[in-house]
Structure formats: C-alpha cells, structure tokens
Amino acid sequence: MMNAGRSLPVLVCVCMFLLWSVQSCGKKGDPRPPEMAPPSAISDLRATLVESGIYLRWSIPDAKAGIQSYKIQRNEQDEEGSSCVDCPREFVMLADISVNAPALKKEEANSAGYLDLQVKAGYRYAYQIIACDMARHCSEASNIEEIIVSTKGPQEREGVRTTNK
C-alpha cells in the first residue's frame, strides 16, 4: 500500500510530460488555405507627367482574384542629391486605396489609374503598386516606374523610365 501512494505522483508526472510533448507535434506551414493564392503582380505600371502631378495607370490583374485595394508606394529623390540612380530604393506608402474609392480612376473594364498630386519640381520619383484581396493577401510588388519632374517649364519636362524589380 505504501508503494502505491508513492507511485501515483510519479505516474501523474509521466502522463503530464507525455501530454505536453505530444501537443506540440504537427506540420508547420502557410496558414492560408492552398486554394487562396495571392493576386497576380501588376506588370504594366506606367507613369505620365501631367500638369497637376504624376498620373499612374495599370491593368487590373485577374478579375477573379477579388482585389479589394491597392498599396501605392513611392520613392522620392532630390534630382541634385541623387548620386546613385541604380541603388536600391526605399519605398514609402503613398496610399492604401480601396477599389471603390473616388481617388481610384477606373478607365476601362480592366485598367485603373491614380493621380499623385504631391510632386515637386527637381525630384525623381519611382512608383510600385501592390494588389491586395479581401483577406489582405497581397501580390508581389509591380514593376518600378520612374519619372523625373525637372525644374524646367512644363513643355520641357523630362521623360519616364520603366524598370523591373
């Protein structure tokens, strides 16, 4: 009888250890179900210099992807101070805009546009866009579109350069 009283705490400890060690087993993986692929990346971002700012235009990726918003990111460099044009850029969020927002222009059934009014003469701007679906799964960043707003008059403004990531 004395041995049964001593073995009970040992048996409880062994059982608790086994339960603790079994509960953490399992395969780690992406929590998103496999059928929920993120939206396709935008590949045809274009920037145009207009009188009031820089107009961005892109084709909407797969309509079945259920895109709900676009994250428009921008990099701004002073034309005078940018000595390394090909260095990696740090993009900041310019807008996280819903597909139903008035600032997002729907031009055709499969294209959208956005006007950046916050540009300054003498700066080089680079843009990229990320598409996000209803569950906030986001695509890879789009191609990078670069444009220079020179200090010259509007009729002499410099052009645009497109680069891939």
Q: How does pLDDT run across 21-40, given as a tens digit for each residue? A: 666 555 666 665 656 778 88
149 vs 15, higher pLDDT? 149
Q: How does pLDDT run across 54-113, given as a tens digit for each residue? A: 999 999 877 666 889 999 999 998 866 556 666 778 999 999 999 999 999 987 778 999
Average pLDDT score over the chain: 80
Whether 51 shows a pLDDT value over 70: the answer reads yes
Q: How does pLDDT run across 118-130, given as a tens digit for each residue? A: 999 989 999 999 9
Burial annotation 57-86 (CB, 10 A radius, 16+ → b, else e): bbebbeeebebebbbbbbbbbeeeeeeeee
Using 50, 70 and 90 to split pLDDT, how confident is the model at 48? Answer: very high
pLDDT score at 84 = 67
Strand order across the beta sheet in which 105-108 lies: 46-50, 53-59, 111-116, 105-108
Whether 9 shows a pLDDT value over 70: the answer reads yes
Q: Cα(140)–Cα(129) distance, rounded to whole angstroms?
A: 9
Q: CA-CA distances (angstroms) from residue 90 to 42, 93, 125, 142?
A: 19, 10, 11, 15
Using 50, 70 and 90 to split pLDDT, how confident is the model at 134? Answer: confident
Domain parsing of the chain, residue ranges: 46-163
Dihedral pair phi/psi, residue 58, rounded to 5°: -155, 160
pTM of structure? 0.69
Whether domain 46-163 has CATH 2.60.40.10: the reply is yes
Mean pLDDT score, 138-147: 94
